[in-house]
């Protein structure tokens, strides 16, 4: 493990990191590409930043003394960008695909609580779609781990396994509870303002078309946060300690509407975000009570 980047109280500035994201990599990625063990830490970060009220509003959370379980992801984003734009990271940042995300909240985090946050690159593997790797993040309060996250990303490339036939997508399950989610045309820009994630595919239709999308698409983590905000408002929501995991499927084009469907059981809730007609998934996942 190389020496970590360490920041105290304030995260690294995003502007120079965005500049690095645009620089081409010196070598083309291949099957022999190796992602180094990079790590970044942010010590003594206050959770109550200027962006928090806007984040609550953009994602639909109700303000209170406890923070959404997705909020530490926003605090850690500058660390993620620091690692992914480091000259030793061999893959281009633009074009990475967010496949999966799992967040575990070991206890509710209070607004204004200080956190020590660490982000690490790990678990590289070659799949039939390309190179997958994890961004592993953990947050500690007074030395105790209170939150952790694993985000799995993909760099698409042709591999020897590319000829593997695709399996048919599973049939969509039918869940008893439904809420409609509306994603306005500007939600990508609004979420980018509070999260720092200004990937061009989320910002405008013109910039998204340069990457092959007909229109801008919603951030996957906005969709996950919006789902969490709606589920927290349900009468049987337990909160406290839980894991919320999801797999990202088809992008949500902006503007757009989607169906949030879920079912409850004793040990957790299953949920899925489908397109407006209910025929295809944007994401699916599960909440497990701990």
State the CB neighbour count (10 A cutoff) for residue 40. Answer: 24
- Give 164's pLDDT tier (boundaries 50, 70, 90): low
CB-based contacts of 153, cutoff 8 Å, min separation 6: 96, 97, 98, 99, 132, 133, 134, 135
How is residue 52 written in tokens?
Answer: 């928090």
- Give 169's pLDDT tier (boundaries 50, 70, 90): confident
CA dihedral 13, 15, 20, 21 (to 10 degrees): 110
Query: For the chain, which domains are there?
Result: 5-14+37-156 (3.10.129.10), 177-238+249-289 (3.10.129.10)
- Give 170's pLDDT tier (boundaries 50, 70, 90): confident
- Give 274's pLDDT tier (boundaries 50, 70, 90): very high
How is residue 116 written in tokens?
Answer: 């020590």
What integer is the mean pLDDT of 81-106? 95
Residue at token pair 């999801």: 246
> How confident is the model at residue 266, as a pLDDT?
85
Q: How far apart are CA 114 and CA 252, in angstroms?
A: 34
- Give 142's pLDDT tier (boundaries 50, 70, 90): very high
Whether pLDDT at 104 is above 80: yes
> How confident is the model at residue 163, as a pLDDT?
55
- The pLDDT tens digits for 204-253 are 999 999 999 999 999 999 999 999 999 999 999 998 999 999 999 999 99
Kindly list the distances between the CA atom of residue 136 and the CA atoms of 41, 61, 145, 150, in Å, as whole numbers in the listed order. Answer: 12, 25, 13, 5
What integer is the mean pLDDT of 15-44? 91
- More reliable by pLDDT, 209 or 25: 209
What integer is the mean pLDDT of 259-276? 96
What integer is the mean pLDDT of 75-84? 98
Helix axis angle for 220-232 and 187-195, nearest 10°, is 90
What integer is the mean pLDDT of 25-38? 89
Q: How far apart are CA 56 and CA 14, in angstroms?
A: 21
Angle made by CA atoms 119, 122, 123, in degrees to the nearest 5: 150
- What is the rounded average pLDDT for all residues in the chain? 94
- More reliable by pLDDT, 159 or 69: 69
- Give 160's pLDDT tier (boundaries 50, 70, 90): low
Provide the percentage of residues in the chain whose pLDDT is more than 70.
Answer: 97
Between the ranges 16-25, 91-100, 281-290, where is the mean pLDDT highest?
A: 281-290
Nearest to 141 by CA among 101, 105, 109, 174: 109
Provide the percentage of residues in the chain whose pLDDT is more than 90.
Answer: 86
- The pLDDT tens digits for 121-133 are 999 999 999 999 9
Whether pLDDT at 45 is above 90: yes
Q: How far apart are CA 118 and CA 151, in angstroms?
A: 14
Three-class SS of the chain: CCCCEEEECCCCCHHHHHHHHCCCCCCCCCCCCCCCCCEEEEEEEECCCCCHHHHHHHHCCCCCCECCCCHHHHHHHHHHHHHHCCCCCCCCCCCCEEEEEEEEECCCCECCCEEEEEEEEEEEEECCCEEEEEEEEEEEECCEEEEEEEEEEEEECCCCCCCCCCCCCCCCCCCCEEEEEEECCCHHHHHHHHHCCCCHHHHCHHHHHCCCCCCCECCHHHHHHHHHHHHHCCCCCCCCCEEEEEEECCCCECCEEEEEEEEECCCEEEEEEEECCCCCEEEEEEEEEC
> How confident is the model at residue 191, as a pLDDT?
98
- The pLDDT tens digits for 49-66 are 999 999 999 999 999 999
Residues 93, 147, 150, 195, CA torsion sign = negative
How is residue 242 written in tokens?
Answer: 């839980």
């Amino acid at each position: 493990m190389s020496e970590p980047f360490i920041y105290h109280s304030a995260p690294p500035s995003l502007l120079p990191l965005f500049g690095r994201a645009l620089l081409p990599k010196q070598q083309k990625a291949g099957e022999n590409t190796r992602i180094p063990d990079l790590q970044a830490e942010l010590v003594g970060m206050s959770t109550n930043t200027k962006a928090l009220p806007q984040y609550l509003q953009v994602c639909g959370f109700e303000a209170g003394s406890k923070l959404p379980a997705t909020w530490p992801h926003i605090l850690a984003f500058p660390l993620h960008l620091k690692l992914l734009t480091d000259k030793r990271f061999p893959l281009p940042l633009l074009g990475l695909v967010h496949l999966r995300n799992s967040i575990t909240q070991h206890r509710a985090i209070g607004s204004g609580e200080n956190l020590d946050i660490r982000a690490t690159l790990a678990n590289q593997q070659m799949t039939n779609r390309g190179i997958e790797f994890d961004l592993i993040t953990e947050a500690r309060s007074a030395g105790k781990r209170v939150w952790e996250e694993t985000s799995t990303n993909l760099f698409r490339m042709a591999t020897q396994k590319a000829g593997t036939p695709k399996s048919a997508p599973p049939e969509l399950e039918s869940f008893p509870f439904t809420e409609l989610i509306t994603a306005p045309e500007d939600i990508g820009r609004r979420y980018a303002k509070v999260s720092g994630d200004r990937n061009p595919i989320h910002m405008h239709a013109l910039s998204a078309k340069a990457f092959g999308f007909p229109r801008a698409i919603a951030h996957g983590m906005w969709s996950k946060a919006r789902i969490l905000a709606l589920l927290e408002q349900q009468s049987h929501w337990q909160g406290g300690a839980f894991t919320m995991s999801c797999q990202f499927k088809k992008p949500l084009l902006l503007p757009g509407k989607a169906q949030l469907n879920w079912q409850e059981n004793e040990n957790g809730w299953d949920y899925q975000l489908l397109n407006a007609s209910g025929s295809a998934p944007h994401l699916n996942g599960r909440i497990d009570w701990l």
